[in-house]
Amino acid sequence: MIDGPFESQQAVKRPLIYRQFLWTRLTHWVWAVAIFFLLLSGLQIFNAHPTLYLGKQSGFGFSNEVLAMGAEDGPAGPVGYTRILGMHFNTTGVLGLSVVDDTPTNRGFPAWATIPSYQDLGTGRVVHFFFAWVLVITLAGWLVGSLFNGHLRRDLAPRGADLRALPGDIVNHLKFRFHHTRDYNTLQKLAYGGILFVVLPLLILTGLAMSPTMDAVVPFLVDALGGRQTARTIHFCMMLLIVGFFLVHMVMILAAGPLNELRSIITGWYRLDPSFGSHDAEKAEK
């Protein structure tokens, strides 16, 4: 434990190293803020039509729905429901029907999950597109900077040793057993790389594919994504992956020692395990 009573005595054996570049820390926090606002304004936008479809258009005269939220009358008053691939779930109080100003209201996501809290599509879009620009510019800056400062090559690119270490790494994570080393472990590389090179790019591309002007500029984009409504559904699913990543990210930080982890992403300095340097953790284990 980094926050045990013997921390000062252990400091000698557990060296502090400069682990995160300023550029990495800065971009991390900028897109943390951007994603927070994008998520909550995105749920506001979703609420304007809380139904998802597959294909070029929304089925009103036919069915291509994959998800819908709404409210209907039940024997004991209104009921909120969520329908996923035809399966019906009662989600009263959270999805489909939730309380706004003491009144049960028909809305997709509840007021506490949206910006603004009340129904306001116009403002939601203003907030969303502002932070979309922030995210895209930060991501581009991060990519260029990380190519030059070695962050990509040194920290994120998976190596052969990473793949060999994968099974053991999964076991370690499942047991909440963490090594504090200079390098990211395999699952970290896969998770961070997956978010930065798959999920966020797909979120941006599907977002662009929903823009009618961008569809005139690059019609093959929306076609390749399966049509505008499929793009919207993918956009939503990538959002779920981001939320899932965030939750796991928080659990991992808490489990691995939150002060040490937070220090490294705020100041750059990180305390290693005793006598463990780069790549030494896995070897020492065996």
Partner 1 sequence: MSKFTLSRRTLLTSAVLGGSGLLLGSCNVLDGLDRDSSVRDVLESANNLTYRVQRALAGPNALAEEFTEADIRQPQRPNGITNPDDEDYKAFLANNFADWRLEVSGLVAKPLSYSLAQLQAMPSRTQITRHDCVEGWSCIAKWIGVPLSLVLDEAAPKPSARYVVFYCMDTIEQDLSGSFKYYGSIDLIDARHPQTILAYGMNGRPLPVENGAPLRVRVERQLGYKMPKYLRKIELVDSLAAIGMGHGGYWEDNGYEWYGGI
CB of 224 to partner 1, least distance (A): 13
Query: Please, which residue, 146 or 229, has the CB nearer to partner 1?
Result: 229
The residues, any chain, with a CB within 8 Å of residue 179's CB and separated by 6 or more, are 172, 185, 273, 276, 281, 282, 285
CB of 102 to partner 1, least distance (A): 14
CB of 277 to partner 1, least distance (A): 15
Binding site for partner 1 (CB under 8 A): 1-3, 36, 40, 45-46, 48-49, 51, 53, 56-62, 111-118, 120-123, 125-127, 129-130, 132-133, 176-180, 210-217, 219, 222-223, 228-229, 232, 250, 253-259, 262, 273
Query: Please, which residue, 223 or 237, has the CB nearer to partner 1?
Result: 223
Tokens of 267: 């100041």
Residue with the two structure tokens 């390098």: 183
CB of 74 to partner 1, least distance (A): 26
Cα–Cα dist 98/268, whole Å:
42
Cα–Cα dist 50/69, whole Å:
6
Give the H/E segment covering residue 90. strand 87-90
**Residue length, the chain?**
286
Query: Please, which residue, 35 or 195, has the CB nearer to partner 1?
Result: 35
Tokens of 83: 């329908």
The residues, any chain, with a CB within 8 Å of residue 132's CB and separated by 6 or more, are 38, 204, 207
Tokens of 127: 């907030």
CB of 59 to partner 1, least distance (A): 7
Query: Please, which residue, 45 or 79, has the CB nearer to partner 1?
Result: 45
Query: Please, which residue, 120 or 149, has the CB nearer to partner 1?
Result: 120
CB of 213 to partner 1, least distance (A): 3
Q: Which amino acid type is present at position 248? A: V
Distance of CA 148 to the CA centre of its chain: 25
Query: Please, which residue, 97 or 115, has the CB nearer to partner 1?
Result: 115
CB of 68 to partner 1, least distance (A): 12
Alpha-carbon distance values, 83 to 124, 230, 268 (Å)? 24, 17, 45
Query: Please, which residue, 59 or 158, has the CB nearer to partner 1?
Result: 59
